[in-house]
C-alpha cells in the first residue's frame, strides 16, 4: 500500500493564500510571500496532514493557470531557492508535496507562443498549440487563430500530441522531482488531456519514484477512464462532493449513501479499486460554510468525508468554517489571504473536531481503507460500518434537530464513541445509544485515541493542571487569567475560559490545545 492510500491532504491556493498581486507584469521584485507556509507547519501537523497540495506556483500572468515558465517559481511567491527550502522543511516534518500540473494550456506570454507572435509561420513552434492556423485572426488580435481552453483565449491550449510539447512538460516534471523532491502531481483539466500523454508521464514518474501520486481533475464521466493502472492513481470525486453538502441541506441521507454505494459499496461498487480524492470545497467552488444552510452540520459533513471511502482533503481555512462565494464571475472570495492568528478566532470548535478526526483516521486502518456497508438509513440519520480484516468501526450521523435513539446489532461486546469516550450500551448483541441533535459518533471496540499518549497534546500531569485564577503567558507575549474550566455541551470536551489582562476580552480554548504546544514551545506558561 502506498502513502497516498492513507493520506490526509491539505490544499492551498498559493497566490490567494499569500495575498499576491492579481497580475504579474514582470515589474515586481521577487517577494517571498509563500514563506508564510513555514509558520503553518505546526498547524498542519496538529491536523495529521500527510501532504500539502499547492495550487499553481510557477511563473504566470495572472491566476497561475496561465503559465509562463514551468521551471520558475512565480516572483509574487518567491524564487526557486525559497521554494526548495519550503519543500525541505515540509519533508523534514513528514509532510509531502503535491504540485498543480497545468499541462492542458499556457498563458499568452509563454515564450513559444510569443515566438509565433513574432515570427509567424516561420516559428518552429507552430505545431505546439492546438488547431493553430493562419487562416484568420484570433479574438485577441493575433494574425492567426488558435484554440483556447473552454473558450478562454488567454489560456492557449497545448497540442499534447506534439512530441516536443510532451518532452518539454516531462523535462519540467523531472526538474520538480529532482530540485524540489515533489511527491505527486494534480493534473488540471485532466478530462482535456490526451490519454497517451498520461501513459507516458505515469511511466516516467513511477520510474523516478514508485510511490509518486498522480491525481486528475475530473468533473464528469466514468472515473475508470482516467484512474487505472496505465494512467492516473486517483481523480477528484465531484460526484460525492455535491452529495456531501446537499444531503444535509435537503435532509436526505439517501442521496450520499446512493453515491457512496455506487462507487465503493461492498456489493460491487464501480470504483472499489480507486482511492478517490474527496473534498467539500476547493479553489473553484463555494466554501462549505457558504453552501450549508445550517452551520451545525459542518462537523457532520467533515465526519462523513473523513470516514467514507477515499482520500480526505481540507481546503485552507475551511477547517475554521470560513465563508466565501463566487461573485460577479470572480473566484477571488474563494481564494483569500489568511493569517493563522486570525483563523484561531474563527470556528475553533470545528477546528478541534477536524483535529480529532485526523487522530481517529490515523488510529483506525478500517476508516482509511475498509469496505463500506450501510446498516441503517433514514432521511436524517445514517449508520454505516467500515471493515478491514478483524477491525470494524461504526459511523453514526444525526442531522436532525431532535434526539434519535440508535439501535443496531453488533458482534462486539463493548463499544465506545471515540469522539467523547462515552461507552455505548451493548446487551445480547444489540447496541443502543441516544444521539444528540446535529451529532456524529465514531463507535469502536477499543478507544485507543483517548487512552494512548499522543505527540503534541500529552504532557506531564503537573503541566496539564489548570489553576482557576492562575496567570498565564501566551507564547506570543500576552498575559491572561484563567476564569474557569468548562465542558462543551455537544462534544463534552474540556474548555479553558480565560480573560486577557490587557483588554479584559474573554476567550475559550480546548484544554488539550491550552496545555499543548505550538511548534516547539508551549502555548501557555504559568507565571504566578
User: What's the whole-number average pLDDT of the chain?
Assistant: 93
Report how far residue 297's alpha carbon sits from residue 252's, in angstroms, rounded to the nearest whole number.
13
Report how far residue 27's alpha carbon sits from residue 364's, in angstroms, rounded to the nearest whole number. 51
* pLDDT for 465: 74
Q: Helix count (H) and strand count (E) of the chain?
A: 15, 28
Q: What is the 3-state secondary structure (H, E, C) of 489-523?
A: CCCCCEEEEEEECCCCCEEEEEHHHHCCEECCEEC
- Cβ-contact 221, 134 below 8 angstroms: no
Q: Give mean pLDDT, residues 73-99.
A: 98
Global pTM reads 0.86
Q: Give 413: exposed, middle or buried? Use CB within 10 Å, 0-12, 13-18, 19+.
A: exposed
CATH architecture of 461-526: Roll (2.30)
* pLDDT above 80: residue 110: yes
Q: Which residue has the higher pLDDT, 496 or 58?
A: 58
Of 336-350, 426-440, 457-471, give the lowest mean pLDDT range: 457-471
- Please state at what angle helix 195-208 crosses helix 163-180, rounded to 10 degrees: 30
Model confidence at 31, pLDDT cuts 50, 70, 90, reads very high
Q: How far is the C-alpha of 96 from the C-alpha of 492, rounded, in Å?
A: 34
Across the range 470-482, mean pLDDT stands at: 90
Do residues 487 and 439 touch, judged by C-beta distance below 8 A? no
Distance CA 222, CA 231 (A): 14
Distance CA 412, CA 427 (A): 10
Distance spanning both ends of the chain, measured CA to CA: 51
Q: Which residues contact 214 (CB under 8 A, 6 or more apart)?
A: 184, 185, 187, 198, 201, 202, 205, 231, 232, 233, 234
For the segment 367-396, the average pLDDT, to the nearest whole number, is 96
**What's the CA gap between 242 and 378, in Å, rounded?**
19
Distance CA 528, CA 330 (A): 52
Nearest alpha carbon to residue 493 among 422, 438, 428, 389? 422
The answer to whether the CB of 470 falls within 8 A of the CB of 332 is: no
φ/ψ (deg, to 5) at 107: -85, 165
CA distance 130 to 148: 8
CA-to-CA distance for 415 and 424, rounded, in angstroms?
A: 5
> For domain 368-444, which architecture applies?
Sandwich (2.60)
Q: pLDDT band at residue 351, thresholds of 50, 70 and 90?
A: very high
**pLDDT surpasses 80 at 517:** no
Instruction: Dump pLDDT digits (tens) for 49-65.
Output: 999 999 999 999 999 99
The model's confidence at residue 453, banded by pLDDT at 50, 70 and 90, is very low
Is pLDDT at 462 greater than 50 in this prediction? no
Tens of pLDDT, residues 370-383: 999 999 999 999 99
Question: Are the CB atoms for 66 and 106 separated by under 8 Å?
Answer: yes
* Domain boundaries defined on the chain: 3-132+158-365, 368-444, 461-526
Res 464: pLDDT: 55
Residue 47 has pLDDT above 90, yes or no: yes
pLDDT tens-digit map of 191-204 = 999 999 999 999 99
Separation between Cα atoms, residue 388 and residue 490, nearest integer Å: 30
The answer to whether residue 266 scores a pLDDT higher than 80 is: no
| Nine cell digits for residue 41 | 507547519
Separation between Cα atoms, residue 426 and residue 443, nearest integer Å: 12
| Helix extents (H) in 64-162 | 80-92, 111-119
Question: Predicted confidence band at 458 (pLDDT cuts at 50, 70, 90)?
Answer: very low
Query: Strands 277-278 and 479-487: what pairing?
Result: unpaired
- Is the pLDDT assigned to residue 510 strictly greater than 80? no
- For residue 163, count CB atoms less than 10 angstroms from its CB and return exposed for 0-12, middle for 13-18, buried for 19 or more: exposed
Alpha-carbon gap, residue 446 to 428, rounded angstroms: 19
Examine the pLDDT at 79 and tell me if it is beyond 80: yes
Reply yes or no on whether the pLDDT at 489 is more than 80: no
pLDDT tens-place string over residues 12-26: 999 999 999 999 988
pLDDT at 519 over 60: no
Q: Dump the DSSP string for 423-487.
A: EEEEETTEEEEEEPTTEEEEEESS--TTTS--TTT---HHHH---TT-EEEETTS-EEEEEEEEE
Q: How far apart are CA 399 and CA 298, in angstroms?
A: 10
Which residues are CB-neighbours of 478 under 8 A, at least 6 positions away? 500, 501, 502
Q: How confident is the model at residue 184 (pLDDT cuts 50, 70, 90)?
A: very high
- Is pLDDT of 461 > 50? no
Residue 244: all three cell numbers together: 456531501
- Residue 112's SS3 state is helix
9-12 and 67-73 beta bridge pairing: unpaired
Q: How confident is the model at residue 88 (pLDDT cuts 50, 70, 90)?
A: very high
pLDDT of amino acid 493: 61
* pLDDT score at 459: 33
Contacts of 95 (CB under 8 A, 6+ apart): 41, 44, 45, 49, 50, 51, 52
Here the cell at position 132 is: 493553430
| Long-range pairs for 142-148: beta carbons < 8 A, 24 or more residues apart | 142/117, 144/116, 144/120, 148/105
For residue 485, pLDDT over 90 is answered with: no
Calculate the alpha carbon distances from 110 to 171, 243, 512 in Å.
16, 39, 50
Q: Domain 3-132+158-365 carries which CATH code?
A: 3.20.20.80
Q: What letter would DSSP give residue 226?
A: T
pLDDT band at 433 (very low <50, low <70, confident <90, very high): very high
Amino acid at each position: 500500500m502506498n502513502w497516498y492510500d492513507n493520506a490526509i491532504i491539505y490544499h492551498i491556493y498559493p497566490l490567494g493564500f499569500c495575498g499576491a498581486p492579481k497580475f504579474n507584469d514582470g515589474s515586481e521584485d521577487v517577494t517571498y510571500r509563500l514563506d508564510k507556509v513555514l509558520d503553518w507547519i505546526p498547524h498542519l501537523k496538529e491536523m495529521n496532514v500527510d501532504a500539502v497540495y499547492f495550487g499553481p506556483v510557477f511563473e504566470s500572468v495572472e491566476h497561475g493557470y496561465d503559465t509562463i515558465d514551468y521551471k520558475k517559481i512565480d516572483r509574487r511567491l518567491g524564487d526557486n531557492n525559497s521554494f526548495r527550502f519550503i519543500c525541505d522543511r515540509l519533508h523534514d516534518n513528514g509532510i509531502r508535496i503535491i504540485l498543480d500540473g497545468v499541462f492542458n494550456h499556457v498563458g499568452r506570454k509563454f515564450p513559444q507562443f510569443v515566438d509565433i507572435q513574432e515570427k509567424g509561420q516561420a516559428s518552429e513552434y507552430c505545431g505546439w498549440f492546438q488547431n493553430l492556423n493562419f487562416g484568420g485572426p484570433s479574438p485577441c488580435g493575433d494574425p492567426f487563430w488558435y484554440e483556447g481552453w473552454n473558450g478562454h483565449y488567454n489560456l492557449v491550449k497545448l497540442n499534447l500530441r506534439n512530441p516536443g510539447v510532451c518532452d518539454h512538460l516531462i523535462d519540467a516534471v523531472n526538474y520538480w522531482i529532482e530540485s524540489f523532491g515533489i511527491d505527486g502531481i494534480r493534473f488540471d483539466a485532466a478530462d482535456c488531456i490526451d490519454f497517451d500523454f498520461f501513459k507516458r508521464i505515469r511511466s516516467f514518474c513511477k520510474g523516478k519514484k514508485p510511490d509518486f501520486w498522480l491525481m486528475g481533475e475530473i468533473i464528469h464521466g466514468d472515473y475508470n477512464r482516467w484512474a487505472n493502472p496505465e494512467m492516473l492513481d486517483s481523480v477528484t470525486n465531484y460526484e460525492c462532493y455535491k452529495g456531501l453538502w446537499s444531503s444535509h441541506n435537503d435532509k436526505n441521507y439517501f442521496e450520499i449513501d446512493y453515491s457512496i454505494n455506487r462507487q465503493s459499496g461492498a456489493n460491487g461498487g464501480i470504483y472499489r479499486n480507486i482511492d478517490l480524492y474527496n473534498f467539500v470545497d476547493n479553489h473553484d467552488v463555494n466554501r462549505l460554510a457558504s453552501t450549508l444552510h445550517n452551520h451545525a452540520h459542518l462537523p457532520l459533513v467533515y465526519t462523513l468525508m473523513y470516514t467514507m471511502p477515499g482520500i480526505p482533503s481540507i481546503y485552507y481555512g475551511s477547517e475554521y468554517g470560513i465563508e466565501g462565494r463566487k461573485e460577479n464571475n470572480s473566484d477571488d472570495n474563494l481564494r483569500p489571504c489568511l493569517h493563522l492568528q486570525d483563523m484561531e478566532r474563527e470556528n475553533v470548535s470545528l477546528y478541534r473536531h477536524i483535529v480529532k478526526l485526523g487522530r481517529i483516521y490515523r488510529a483506525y486502518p478500517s476508516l482509511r481503507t475498509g469496505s463500506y456497508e450501510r446498516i441503517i438509513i433514514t432521511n436524517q440519520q445514517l449508520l454505516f460500518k467500515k471493515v478491514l480484516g478483524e477491525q470494524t468501526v461504526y459511523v453514526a450521523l444525526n442531522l436532525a434537530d431532535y434526539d434519535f435513539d440508535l439501535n443496531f446489532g453488533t458482534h462486539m461486546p463493548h463499544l465506545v464513541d471515540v469522539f467523547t469516550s462515552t461507552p455505548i450500551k451493548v446487551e445480547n448483541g444489540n447496541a443502543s445509544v441516544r444521539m444528540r441533535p446535529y451529532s456524529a459518533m465514531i463507535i469502536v471496540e477499543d478507544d485507543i485515541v483517548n487512552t494512548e499518549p499522543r505527540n503534541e497534546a500529552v504532557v506531564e500531569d503537573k503541566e496539564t493542571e489548570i489553576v482557576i485564577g492562575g496567570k498565564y503567558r501566551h507564547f506570543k507575549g500576552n498575559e491572561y487569567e484563567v476564569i474557569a474550566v468548562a465542558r462543551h455541551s455537544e462534544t463534552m470536551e474540556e474548555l479553558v475560559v480565560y480573560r486577557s489582562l490587557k483588554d479584559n476580552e474573554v476567550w475559550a480554548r480546548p484544554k488539550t490545545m491550552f496545555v499543548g504546544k505550538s511548534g516547539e514551545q508551549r502555548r501557555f506558561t504559568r507565571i504566578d
